[in-house]
C-alpha cells in the first residue's frame, strides 16, 4: 500500500511563481476547505483537486505550503492507488485530523471505471461527500506572467509585443513557457528572431506533457 505523505515541495530551480487566475481561484478554494476542516472536528478531512495535465496543480500545492498560509497537508495521486487504498487513506486522515488532497486529472465520476468491482460502496459515498476544487487550463492572461518569469530566469529578453504574441501562440499549459525557453536555450539565437520565436513555439507544442 502506498500511503499519502506529508506534502513537500520539490527542491529544484524554478522561476518565480506567477499563478494564473485559475490557480488563484483553486488556491482560495483549498484554503477555505482547510479552514472548514479545522472547524468541523471529527468529520472528513479530504478535498478533491482536479484539473488537466499541466494546469499547474503541483506548483499550486508547493507554493501553498511554502507560503505558510496552509497547515500541513498530505497529497495522494488517485491514479497511483487502488480503491481500497484510497478508502483507507481517507479514513486514516479523518481519524488523525489531517488534511488530505486527492489529486486527479479526471473528475470523480471517471475514477476506477475499469475497476468498478473493486470499489466498496462506502468509498463511493465518501467521495460523493467530499468538496471538489478544480484547476482549469490557463488562458493568455495566465500564461503571459509565467512566460515573462521564465524568460527572465533563462536570461532571454523579448519586448512586450513579442511576449504577448508568444503567450497567445503557446499551448494552454503552465509548463509551456518553460518548454519555450528551453527551446530558445537549445537554439542559441542562431536563426532570424521571428523565425526563432516561431520555432520555439512549435517546440513547446511538440514536447510531451509533464506529469502535471
Do 14 and 84 sit in the same domain of this protein? yes
Number of domains in the chain: 2
Q: Left, alpha or beta for 117 (phi > 0: left; psi -120 to 50: alpha)?
A: alpha
Q: Are residues 36 and 130 in the same domain?
A: yes
Model confidence at 191: pLDDT above 60? no
Range of the domain at 117: 5-134
Share of residues in the chain with pLDDT > 90 (%) = 62
Q: Give the domain CATH number at 14.
A: 3.40.50
Q: Are 14 and 63 in a shared domain? A: yes
Detail the DSSP E strand segments found in 14-109.
46-50, 73-77, 99-104
Residue 5 has pLDDT above 70, yes or no: no
Alpha helices in 5-53, H assignment, sequence order: 21-39
pTM metric for this prediction: 0.81
Same-domain pairing of 103 and 186: no
Amino acid at each position: 500500500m502506498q500511503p499519502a505523505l506529508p506534502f513537500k515541495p520539490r527542491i529544484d530551480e524554478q522561476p518565480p511563481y506567477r499563478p494564473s487566475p485559475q490557480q488563484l481561484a483553486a488556491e482560495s478554494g483549498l484554503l477555505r476547505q482547510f479552514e472548514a476542516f479545522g472547524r468541523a472536528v471529527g468529520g472528513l478531512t479530504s478535498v478533491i483537486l482536479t484539473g488537466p495535465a499541466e494546469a499547474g496543480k503541483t506548483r499550486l500545492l508547493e507554493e501553498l505550503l511554502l507560503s505558510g498560509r496552509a497547515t500541513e497537508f498530505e497529497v495522494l495521486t488517485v491514479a497511483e492507488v487502488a480503491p481500497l487504498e484510497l478508502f483507507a487513506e481517507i479514513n486514516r486522515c479523518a481519524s488523525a485530523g489531517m488534511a488530505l488532497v486527492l489529486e486527479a486529472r479526471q473528475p470523480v465520476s471517471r475514477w476506477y471505471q475499469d475497476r468498478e468491482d473493486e470499489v466498496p460502496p462506502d468509498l463511493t459515498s465518501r467521495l460523493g461527500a467530499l468538496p471538489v476544487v478544480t484547476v482549469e487550463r490557463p488562458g493568455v492572461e495566465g500564461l503571459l506572467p509565467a512566460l515573462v518569469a521564465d524568460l527572465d530566469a533563462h536570461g532571454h529578453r523579448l519586448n512586450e509585443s513579442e511576449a504577448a504574441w508568444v503567450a497567445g501562440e503557446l499551448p494552454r499549459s503552465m509548463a509551456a513557457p518553460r518548454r519555450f525557453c528551453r527551446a530558445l536555450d537549445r537554439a542559441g539565437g542562431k536563426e532570424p528572431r521571428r523565425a526563432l520565436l516561431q520555432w520555439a513555439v512549435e517546440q513547446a507544442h511538440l514536447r510531451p506533457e509533464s506529469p502535471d
